[in-house]
Structure 1
């Protein structure tokens, strides 16, 4: 059977699928060799009523994944019946043209491989024409469609003579239209193709209506689904009637290209801004080990965990010096557990992920049907077991970790060599890894209980925001205590008339007063704060950052930002029994149990994160001690340089595999690298890495005078905005509305002085959301682009119940 080529095969397939394709017939090479006028007349019976025809090539090597042959063959448009035979011969002759022979040679093809069929098709006198892609060829990882269109015939667009409207359909379903000034259109007049001027009033109009754009979008979606790959189509409209002229695979999209989705939705709270290599290498290995062990604890077969080891090895990424989640790997890790679809939605809420993953993935070593059932039963049993044992395990975890931390805290390292400090670090890290299961189990249960409570509030009670009020105030939050102690310090300083001294004097002098115990009760409370919370700092999970113990003057500078003490009314708290009276007995029992467990696990999630900071404080001490010893020994120029190295480089040095000179060279190179990273601002919350390219486009919200985010703590506040990137850049909030990209536990020190909190990133379970509810500060998180849209000094009105922000 003679091949009819890719174009003709595609047209036949499109017709079979039911799309409106202009009528056509195909002439194989054998047909062309015996072509007579009589045979042609017989074929034209299938196109009866057509006045004009298009004659196109359809080669066996054309429009494939390897070679497109774009523009190499001939096309004849508006051919009359009388011209048809000659036009067919002209198109067929192009097979032997110098242009085609050159293309064959350049692509290591020989002429004998090429077979050229001819498509004779009914010609449509289009009023608008275009090309569309079911995936953005430049960013195939995004759920976007692109439509370009002109008035008149499509040859004017394909040839590049006419400028076209470009319409991009985003993942949200909205159209981003870039309308061109279309001065001309290509038409068939007086027996010839010609460009004619458009009337002035039509030049600014879109070539396609909104209805037509949606029709094309639906065709693209269905074609990609039916044909199993992204499609590039040519189309036209005759008035309001759509014709599909061609559909082919988008050859520029490669399935073998590495695609990674980096997302910092939640982790930006813990690691805002630049994070240096030593901190990143430490947390990367911690995440790998603890989640690997956690998967085994939940009953995931060891063979499957080992087969997917890369999932755990790369749960985080270091992008331009910032920490991001490797989002696909997080979904893969969760997919190893039963009930993936339900838990994925809960995980997205807990992590604050603002858009779905949007890509498919597969796991290695997937169990068979019966093994899956057994795994389901085993995991369910482990989950029930964990749920029952967790309260006791959390207490044991707190006691053991606190004891280990205290033992290292009491150890004097002044005379101990750096190599022994390194061994102590390795021992401590091993304890962290092996003992970290209770916090992870609590996180998982918090995700499930909080998500289930939201569903129950919505479905059973018709109150979709009630779940946040049901978890407030039921269990104490440790992370609120530092703020309360700060407020007590400020209040005492007011009573002792020392607040103005704190604000007026240099921080170093105020600290000196405290150390010499000549600053009254205020000084005693400051010393108490350092004793209890000295291991904490701004950005306290970054090992390179000073703690309050290491730099107590930083605490004094925070106190200098207070003009007066501030008392906030705790957020509204709700009791299940006040809302569930109308539920049947069994539903009421379920509702109260889920509400209790959600409140308990959400509070413990924050408390265990608070405890984590003390563990990190111990790790910080190890590295600072090694750095200080290396500075004295001449290994490094400055003790802080150690944070520009990674953990494997430290290990290599202690194993005598890297010289001090090599360490110093690496430090110097990284200082230059990270200084450049620091100049980059406003990296997007989600970054697609496709091949070796990073998509760093930062979306700016399109808005009139209103924005919307996730409501976290009710309350309506009108006031002035203060935009901060770090908490230490502020001198006084004085009741301004705090606006920032993200927060970590270190921000608690300035929350008290804010009248409201607005955060660009985050979710209902993020740090700012939990703490603001507990402290009663109106709060909205997850407000895309707010730090770009607002500037310090703007006046706004925010509603923490509805999530609405208005610019006044």
Structure 2
């Protein structure tokens, strides 16, 4: 029996099936025929009946002769191929070969350059016999496969290639790539590891050849009549030249990409090139595990955790995120079993890269898969997170129709639950705040400056149970903001607003109920009061080390107002979510540093609340001219809902800041106990221990040494620059050399205004914070910058979102602002003078003739 034109017969084996599938894709496969397993079945059965083991069966098969009828059929086909003038190849196609888990790489024998009928008959027999060889049997045992091999054999036209090789449609080392390795002539040396070939790597997403390694090729395997293959020397001028043209490489990439897309899994493909014509010789699934590509991005989270943080902050933040999102799943009605399936996702929402906190984007996307409309929510989340480049490694989980019908009732319930929560936020948010205030109001009255282990555990447990474990409402509102923001952006585009994000920022300006402006308003009022009393103003401007004590002694009424401010807003500081940050509550001297900035201005900052917003509303009215009544009503209604959701978010974020402040206080109090008992050198050392270490570590002398080593490690991180996105594994891509104008920087304008001034670069809360009448230059900002921003002339932010808390505040303050300025903090240094345009996003270094550039 010979299988030639008929495909997918039961006994043709995995490799032959693969060749037929390649043909179906329209790829050029050298003509082939298959001698199915049925031809060898009797020989195997007879050997088994005689009690022969694998060695005996292999010997029996090596003597196999095709029946006369099959031999005549084979000869007729070979004559069409111009055999024996043109040679053929004999390959194995065992029934379970080239499967999704077991490829049998190089286990069975192949025979090249067959140029006679006698040699062909011998090769067919030996190829079938190799399925029962000791090597093949060992492979089967090792992989727990059926010990009975079912061989089939392929006879295929041989291509005498100019070059040939192998490719992995997905490269296991770097799954973003397709890897192509090739040599001049036949690729047998490449397959068995005796030859070094050229390597070509395409980025699958961009479809571009982005790196290559060209070897020195001194010889190539070529056909030598019927004598097999022999090495032929390559002339010196061709030894360093790539063995494949770019055009052929691109054709090969497209063909392989199509094969992977249709098959649904990565493929190992062998190919040959003859006179620039591409032939696909065989394809099998890649059985090696392909690692997940994990993307870490800090575009948004660095607003909250700027720069290098400490192990305690990271461990606490990770636990907080896990706790809160687990609650959210419960609110959405997911069963405990379903939530348990996502334990690994929930415990790894964050990552730590060289001391910086990043979002694990893969796991955030997996969380979105639990909600309806994955693609839409994914786009909305990317917008809110400030991701400049989407991540496509995690997609929607497409389910069969029957599964969709089965899940429909639960999905409808989730929709309803989510909608009900959104519709009740006007009740739920005040209730949440009321509950929070109940615990917050008495916390510091009862807190001892030194907490023994039992007291520390008690305080921590109380915060966990009473507040952290009841934090689902903020997350529900964040989802509401995310979805509303995305919907509004899409509708603004339909209305003809070309830059909807920038427009939305202006439209939402002037909201007097935004909570993030309240600390600034309160500090301005204190500054105005201090300015009226010359002795208070003088002592604050002098900023003596014992300033707080002096104010208490000499100006007690003013001291009480300061104390009240610190009680309400003492945790709102630059880097406020980093537990190691020294806040106003920890050191009141910081409050006076901020206040001094206000006193140093001749005209204290006044908040601009209306003008920009009114202009944006007029712009929207104009854009909506001619639109339908229903479209107008829908858009305006969603804008109103978004504004309210953002108000809720800003209110709740202050409570989050206070919650972190309470945890900070109990950790510091426990640190004081550890210092008193000589376990730590100083209180701040406690931040270099993770939560689990604080709870379970046996404190001894070795602990101090470990902390010292860890502090040195994190100090080294502060000297290293890290990108906003880290991909693991990441292929070694050669970056394009960008020619930067040394005098001009460009970002995204957020609030209009042209100003000139001195720059003060702030990368860390410990940097110089004297920003009075200067242009702040920051890596990122968070709500804790509220006390610094009002006294500045302008603000430049390397990474930011138009809807971030600090940018919202800057619009309220009417301060020219530019965000997303590449490499900003490395291109400017404190003391430099620049001119910035908050409308166009352009920054020009001083003493430069702009017209001459």
TM-score interval (norm. to shorter): 0.7 to 0.9
When residues 471 and 170 of structure 1 are mapped into structure 2, their CA distance, relative to the original with a 3 A threshold, is farther
Contact preservation (8 Å) 1:327, 1:357: no
Q: Does residue 605 of structure 1 match 2:649?
A: yes
Q: Which residue of 2 aligns with 1:207?
A: 244
Cα separation, 1, equivalents of 2:761 and 2:84 = 67
Deviation per residue, 1:161-212 (Å, 9 max, x gap): 4541423215344441336376667475886755454685995678333x54
When residues 74 and 367 of structure 1 are mapped into structure 2, their CA distance, relative to the original with a 3 A threshold, is closer
Q: Does residue 226 of structure 1 match 2:262?
A: yes
When residues 383 and 94 of structure 1 are mapped into structure 2, their CA distance, relative to the original with a 3 A threshold, is closer
The number of residue pairs the alignment matches comes to: 787
Deviation per residue, 1:386-408 (Å, 9 max, x gap): 33332243234334423431222
Q: Which residue of 1 aligns with 2:796?
A: 757
Moved more, 711-720 or 320-329: 711-720
Deviation per residue, 1:389-443 (Å, 9 max, x gap): 3224323433442343122233363698663454244223322135533322221
Deviation per residue, 1:291-346 (Å, 9 max, x gap): 33333334445554455455445444455554343444433433333333322321
* Secondary structure at 1:57 match in 2: strand
Cα separation, 1, equivalents of 2:146 and 2:330 = 59
* Secondary structure at 1:176 match in 2: strand
Aligned equivalent of 1:458, options 493, 497, 518: 493
Q: Which residue of 2 aligns with 1:251?
A: 287
Cα separation, 2, equivalents of 1:41 and 1:793 = 87
* Secondary structure at 1:295 match in 2: helix
Shift of 1:457: 0.6
Q: Does residue 266 of structure 1 match 2:310?
A: no
Q: Which residue of 1 aligns with 2:508?
A: 471
Contact preservation (8 Å) 2:495, 2:623: no
* Secondary structure at 1:728 match in 2: coil
Shift of 1:454: 0.2
Shift of 1:635: 5.8
1:48-197 correspondence to structure 2 within 5 Å: 48=82, 52-58=86-92, 60=94, 63=98, 70=105, 81=115, 83=116, 85-86=118-119, 89=122, 93=126, 101=134, 118-140=153-175, 143-149=176-182, 154-155=187-188, 158=191, 161=195, 163-178=197-212, 180=214, 186=220, 188=222, 194-195=231-232, 197=234
Shift of 1:540: 1.3
Aligned equivalent of 2:667, options 594, 611, 623: 623
1:395-414 correspondence to structure 2 within 5 Å: 395-411=430-446, 413=448
Q: Which residue of 1 aligns with 2:639?
A: 595
Q: Which residue of 2 aligns with 1:292?
A: 326
Contact preservation (8 Å) 1:314, 1:326: yes
Any unmatched runs of 5+ in structure 1? Answer: 653-657
Moved more, 427-436 or 257-266: 257-266
Deviation per residue, 1:16-72 (Å, 9 max, x gap): 443211112345685882259966632313424895334243253765566656556
When residues 286 and 583 of structure 1 are mapped into structure 2, their CA distance, relative to the original with a 3 A threshold, is same
Name which one, 1 or 2, has greater alpha-carbon Rg: 2
Shift of 1:609: 1.3
Q: Which residue of 2 aligns with 1:726?
A: 764
When residues 629 and 469 of structure 1 are mapped into structure 2, their CA distance, relative to the original with a 3 A threshold, is same
Shift of 1:285: 3.7
1:333-352 correspondence to structure 2 within 5 Å: 333-352=367-386
When residues 569 and 401 of structure 1 are mapped into structure 2, their CA distance, relative to the original with a 3 A threshold, is closer
Cα separation, 1, equivalents of 2:829 and 2:184 = 43
1:253-332 correspondence to structure 2 within 5 Å: 253=289, 262-301=296-335, 304-305=338-339, 308-318=342-352, 321-332=355-366
Aligned equivalent of 1:432, options 449, 455, 467: 467
Aligned equivalent of 2:706, options 636, 654, 669: 669
Contact preservation (8 Å) 1:162, 1:184: no
Deviation per residue, 1:451-475 (Å, 9 max, x gap): 1110001123243423333223234
* Secondary structure at 1:413 match in 2: coil
Cα separation, 2, equivalents of 1:237 and 1:805 = 53
When residues 240 and 45 of structure 1 are mapped into structure 2, their CA distance, relative to the original with a 3 A threshold, is same
Moved more, 448-457 or 700-709: 700-709
Cα separation, 2, equivalents of 1:555 and 1:329 = 39
Contact preservation (8 Å) 2:127, 2:153: no
Moved more, 4-13 or 244-253: 4-13
Q: Which residue of 2 aligns with 1:655?
A: none
Cα separation, 1, equivalents of 2:724 and 2:294 = 14
Q: Which residue of 2 aligns with 1:19?
A: 27
Shift of 1:606: 3.1
Contact preservation (8 Å) 1:537, 1:547: yes
Contact preservation (8 Å) 1:165, 1:206: no
* Secondary structure at 1:598 match in 2: helix
Cα separation, 2, equivalents of 1:105 and 1:251 = 18
* Secondary structure at 2:766 match in 1: helix
Q: Does residue 743 of structure 1 match 2:778?
A: no
When residues 337 and 42 of structure 1 are mapped into structure 2, their CA distance, relative to the original with a 3 A threshold, is same
When residues 106 and 790 of structure 1 are mapped into structure 2, their CA distance, relative to the original with a 3 A threshold, is farther
When residues 311 and 28 of structure 1 are mapped into structure 2, their CA distance, relative to the original with a 3 A threshold, is closer
When residues 388 and 77 of structure 1 are mapped into structure 2, their CA distance, relative to the original with a 3 A threshold, is closer
Q: Which residue of 1 aligns with 2:577?
A: 541
Cα separation, 1, equivalents of 2:93 and 2:327 = 56
Q: Does residue 34 of structure 1 match 2:34?
A: no
Contact preservation (8 Å) 1:737, 1:757: yes
CA RMSD of aligned residues (A): 5.0
Deviation per residue, 1:711-741 (Å, 9 max, x gap): 6445678999876431432465688875554
Moved more, 552-561 or 401-410: 552-561
Deviation per residue, 1:222-247 (Å, 9 max, x gap): 22232231112222344453322221
Shift of 1:746: 3.1
* Secondary structure at 2:658 match in 1: helix
1:510-549 correspondence to structure 2 within 5 Å: 514=551, 517=554, 530=566, 533-549=569-585
Q: Which residue of 1 aligns with 2:57?
A: none
Cα separation, 1, equivalents of 2:513 and 2:734 = 38
